[in-house]
Amino acid sequence: MDSTRQPDLTRQRILEASFAEIHRHGFQAASVANILADTGLTKGALYHHFPSKKDLGLAVVDEMIGIGLVERYIRPLRDAEHPAQALIELIGMKQGISEEFIRLGCPLNNLMQEMSPVDEEFRNRLNRLLSQWQEAFEETLRRAQMAGEVRGEVNCHAAALFIVSAWEGCTGVAKNMQSVEAFRACMSQLQGYVVSLLKT
């Protein structure tokens, strides 16, 4: 037998369904019943693995959104040999901006806007991800600065903060406009900003 009792797989399925549900409706409007319907499980299962809906949401932040963030954006930057080039390419990425993702927006941004005024614990967890992201940009800029590619007077910390902010802003606006083109145009301007940090 292989399909009987695989608790950590069950847990993962709950997390994935929860991520999708939260991505669609936000956390507060996310329905536990929908998550159960999607997984084919029942309340007993969910509340066995997670003590409450809030804990489930926090787990989604850490184990789904956080990991995705690291894999997609942070690690590629850390591993990059040519930091400035890697950063610009990352911003101008032409792959993987599915229509669906534009419609639903950035999961991190969505939850920040929804939850940060409502719940401190959410805000702190989300802030950790935000900081990680910002630090990845900052480190990349600093490396490029060391390599003489970025101008010396550039405030890497503030620039990294702005890149994160503008990035989220672009996804947010594109989400409302439901326009991949707008997203590209917007990110292209952000790319221009980063280029303006480089030495001529």
Q: Which residues bind its own copies (CB under 8 A)?
A: 24-26, 28-29, 103-105, 109-110, 112-114, 116-118, 123, 126-127, 130, 158-159, 161-162, 164-170, 172-178, 182, 185-186, 188-190, 193, 196
Rounded to the nearest whole angstrom, what is the least distance from the CB of residue 95 to its own copies in the complex?
21
- DSSP annotation of 150 reads B
Percent of the chain that is helix, strand, coil (3-state, to 5): 75, 0, 25
Query: Which listed option, its own copies, DNA, none, makes contact with residue 133 (CB within 5 to 8 Å by class)?
Result: none
- φ/ψ of 28, rounded to 5, equals -65, -40
- φ/ψ of 110, rounded to 5, equals -55, -50
Rounded to the nearest whole angstrom, what is the least distance from the CB of residue 114 to DNA in the complex?
14
- φ/ψ of 80, rounded to 5, equals -70, 135
Query: Which listed option, its own copies, DNA, none, makes contact with residue 110 (CB within 5 to 8 Å by class)?
Result: its own copies
Instruction: Please pick, from the candidates 52, 85, 98, 176, the single residue that binds DNA as defined by CB under 7 A.
Output: 52
Instruction: Please pick, from the candidates 12, 16, 38, 45, the single residue that binds DNA as defined by CB under 7 A.
Output: 45
Residue 182 and residue 174 in contact, taking contact as beta carbons nearer than 8 Å: yes
